[in-house]
Amino acid sequence: MATIFWKELADHLGSKRFFILSLIILVVAGTSVYLGIQAFRENPENVGEYAYLALFTTAQSGLPSFLSFLAFFGPLLAVLLGFDAINSEFTKGTVSRILSQPIYRDSWINGKFLAGMATLGLMVASIVLLIFGLGLFALGFPPDIGEFGRLVVFVVVAIVYLGFWLALGLLYSVLFRQTASSALAAVATWLFFTLFLYMIAGVIADQLAPIRSDSTASDLLRNQNIRDFVLRFSPVALFEEATLPILVPTYRGLSLLAMLTRTDVPTSPLSLGQSLLVGWPELVGLVALTSVCFAVAYLVFMRREIRIS
Amino acid sequence: MIVEAKGLRKRYKDIWALDGLDLTVQEGEIYGLLGPNGSGKTTTILILLGLTEPTEGTVRVCGHDPVREPLAVKRVVGYLPEKVGFYEELSAWENLRLITRLNGIPEPEAKRRIAEALEQVGLKEIAKRPVATLSHGMRQRLGIADVLVKKPKLAILDEPTSGIDPEGAVQVLELIKRLRDEARMTVILSSHLLYQVQRICDRVGILQKGRMVAEGTVAELTGEEGGLLATVAGSTPELRARLEGEEWTVSVEDLGGGRLQVLLEEDGRENLFQIVVEERATLLELRPRSRSLEEIYLRYFQE
């Protein structure tokens, strides 16, 4: 499996795709640092003691924060690495040549998945470190150990999240014989989860629990809960919910109650453990989604007939 | 016995691609699998390699069961797929290097084998070129080099000469033969180009609709169909009667216009000349019947 892993990793790192991705990453890192620094200069109290974390979550004047950028575009990058992993081998005719070598069939798909994960990990880690470094340069004081710990956890969660999309790309590459169809399916899924589900969630919530001028607080709450429930089918929403408490120490969750207290009661930051607890269900959901997606791809691939023609 | 398969059946959805196939291949043999498209050649090969499982039947390849111990089989069997593909952006050398890595061949040994294999197929000069720049014939030869670096006991070549020009095809066939002679490699090759099979194969099996319809050495297969075909012009009823009376005559057929077609055994040749001369008829043509596999083959597949 090691052979396949290194071969695939070398392919990823040497590919044009990866070059383009790296360019995008550079731009994003630059913007997010710029936004963070701006916010810090304008309003140091607001940013408070977590200046470094703010670099990742500050959105301003129409530019998205790094976190939403990662949640939105990260999947596209991950899917790009996986969507043609298996079916391109079929179209190239390399499948039977590789699989007639003395390797287990699963070490092939495992090696491919791990190489994709390593590439994504490398990408996320390097971009986070880059922002960190630029931040250090611009802010002029070092991050404390707590911030660093939170960022490490964030990187791990981000890799799991991108791993889901990689596994999805891999699944489509097993299900579809043509790389064009798997690419289209992958992009369609990405659009559905990043855009449509957000619209649908609102519509469903308004249908089931309409809000009128005479609505009570419990109606509002119900509307909000339904919306959240539908949204949680999307890994994008799960990721945002899971990482917000990690990057925003004062964050207490998405519920209406938490939102109300956030404005009314001055909140003190939670410890890392407590923050993790806030996003724990979402975290577990993400890990489960990633595992299930890969497991399905694995099973379908293992049963696939090698016959080409 | 390198390959021993009994009662192989394979079902793809609602079609039986193989329907009770028996196959044995001896060590050091070049065995040719013949048959039209869709007759089950590739399916048979995939089963031998353990790349697909038979629905029914048993297989042994080099003493291993490809279903239970696919790795043991793949370690000693080299395979050239019908449409061989390479990683286009890697060089010929790197493609082979990947194969040696997957086979766990240590570095110095691997480099030696790759150089040797590329030399044997005559691709030494283009070793560093990306595969994307190679011609079809070069790729096919690279595919054979790919089999060679493994130094397999058994090489299975699916259409090894497809898409190569005649000169290249001859080279490939010579190479296959040399490998058998020098490296004592057993070879199974599938093809629908008959003259090639005839040229190098020790034994041939003809597949049709997933069954073996004929098997044996080329000589055996063509020998069964021996005899001579004579066409005689200016025949008379007496001539016909005389010919039919001879014991070496197999059949006489009237072609019309005073022409007869006579199928006779080899030893009737001289008598035939004599009779034709005596009856004042003319011998238009005398030729051996079914000297090539092609006619046998066509006979099986005309139905």
The CATH number covering residue B289 comes to 3.30.70
pLDDT of residue B186: 93
Residue A104, helix vs strand vs coil: coil
**Could you tell me if B189 and B249 lie in one domain?**
no
**Could you tell me if B107 and B249 lie in one domain?**
no
- When the pLDDT of each residue in chain B is averaged and rounded to a whole number, the result is 86
**Could you tell me if B245 and B100 lie in one domain?**
no
The structure's pTM equals 0.83
pLDDT of residue A309: 43
Residue to test with chain A: of B90, B98, B150, B151, most A Cβ within 10 A = B98
CA distance A105 to chain B (A): 9
Where residue B130 falls among pLDDT bands split at 50, 70, 90? very high
B214 - beta bridge partners?
Answer: B206
**Could you tell me if B28 and B74 lie in one domain?**
yes
A307–B79 CB contact, under 8 Å: no
B31 - beta bridge partners?
Answer: B188, B203
Using alpha carbons, select from A72, A287, A76 the residue that is nearest to residue A165. Answer: A76
Cβ of residue B43 closer than 8 Å to a chain A Cβ: yes
**How many Å apart are CA B172 and CA B147, to the nearest integer?**
13
**Could you tell me if B123 and B207 lie in one domain?**
yes
Residue range B38-50: mean pLDDT, rounded: 89
A308–B83 CB contact, under 8 Å: yes
Residue after which a domain boundary falls, among B206, B223, B240: B223
Residue after which a domain boundary falls, among B164, B188, B223: B223
B79–A96 CB contact, under 8 Å: yes
Cβ of residue B195 closer than 8 Å to a chain A Cβ: no
B74 CA to centre of own chain: 22
| ipTM exceeds 0.85 | no
Q: How many domains does chain A have?
A: 1
> Phi/psi at B298 (nearest 5 deg)?
-60, -35
Cβ of residue B112 closer than 8 Å to a chain A Cβ: no
Is A308 part of any domain? no
Q: How many domains does chain B have?
A: 2
Within chain A, residue ranges assigned H as helices are 2-14, 16-42, 44-47, 51-57, 66-82, 87-92, 95-99, 105-139, 145-175, 179-191, 197-208, 217-231, 235-247, 256-264, 272-278, 280-303
Q: What share of chain A is helix, strand, coil (3-state, %, to 5)?
A: 80, 0, 20
B85–A92 CB contact, under 8 Å: yes
Measured CA distances, A279 to A309, B146, B229 (Å): 48, 52, 90
Express each pLDDT in A195-240 by its tens digit: 899 888 888 888 888 877 777 778 888 888 888 888 888 899 889 8
CA distance B202 to chain A (A): 25
Using alpha carbons, select from B287, B292, B254 the residue that is nearest to residue B272. Answer: B287
**How many Å apart are CA A207 and CA B60, to the nearest integer?**
65
Residue range A50-59: mean pLDDT, rounded: 78
CA distance B78 to chain A (A): 8
Residue to test with chain B: of A100, A106, A305, most B Cβ within 10 A = A100
User: Which helix H or strand E contains B217, and what residues bound it?
Assistant: strand B211-217
CA distance B79 to chain A (A): 7
**Could you tell me if B214 and B234 lie in one domain?**
no
Token readout for B2 is: 């390198």
Residue after which a domain boundary falls, among B173, B196, B223: B223
Is A23 part of any domain? yes
A96–B99 CB contact, under 8 Å: no
Neighbours of A239 (CB within 10 A): 27
**Could you tell me if B112 and B249 lie in one domain?**
no
pLDDT of residue B74: 92
Residue B31 near residue B201, CB atoms below 8 Å: yes
**How many Å apart are CA A95 and CA A87, to the nearest integer?**
9
Q: Which of A13-17, B163-167, B195-199 has the highest mean pLDDT?
A: A13-17
Question: In this model, does residue A241 exceed pLDDT 60?
Answer: yes
CA distance B73 to chain A (A): 8
Domain hosting residue A124, numbered range: 2-303
User: Which helix H or strand E contains A252, and what residues bound it?
Assistant: none
Is A283 part of any domain? yes
With the C-alpha atoms ordered B101, B102, B104, B105, is the resulting torsion angle positive or negative?
A: negative
**Could you tell me if B171 and B127 lie in one domain?**
yes
**Could you tell me if B233 and B282 lie in one domain?**
yes
Is A309 part of any domain? no
Token readout for A252 is: 């207490």
B156 CA to centre of own chain: 11
Chain A partners within 8 Å of B83 (Cβ): 93, 308-309
pLDDT of residue B230: 87
**Contacts across the A-B interface (CB distance below 8 Å):** 73
Question: In this model, does residue A93 exceed pLDDT 90?
Answer: no
- Nearest chain A residue to B76 by CA distance is A102
Domain hosting residue B280, numbered range: 228-301
Q: Are strands B77-80 and B56-61 parallel, antiparallel or unpaired?
A: unpaired
A307–B98 CB contact, under 8 Å: no
A306–B86 CB contact, under 8 Å: no
Is A258 part of any domain? yes
**Could you tell me if B90 and B107 lie in one domain?**
yes
Chain B partners within 8 Å of A96 (Cβ): 46, 51, 79, 81
**How many Å apart are CA A57 and CA A70, to the nearest integer?**
11
- Concatenating the DSSP letter of every residue in B113-167 gives HHHHHHHHTT-GGGTTSBGGG--HHHHHHHHHHHHHTT--SEEEEESTTTT--HH
B81–A7 CB contact, under 8 Å: no
**Could you tell me if B191 and B252 lie in one domain?**
no
B102–A308 CB contact, under 8 Å: no
**Could you tell me if B100 and B196 lie in one domain?**
yes
Residue to test with chain B: of A1, A97, A108, most B Cβ within 10 A = A97
- When the pLDDT of each residue in chain A is averaged and rounded to a whole number, the result is 84
A102–B79 CB contact, under 8 Å: no
Using alpha carbons, select from A172, A131, A126 the residue that is nearest to residue A18. Answer: A126
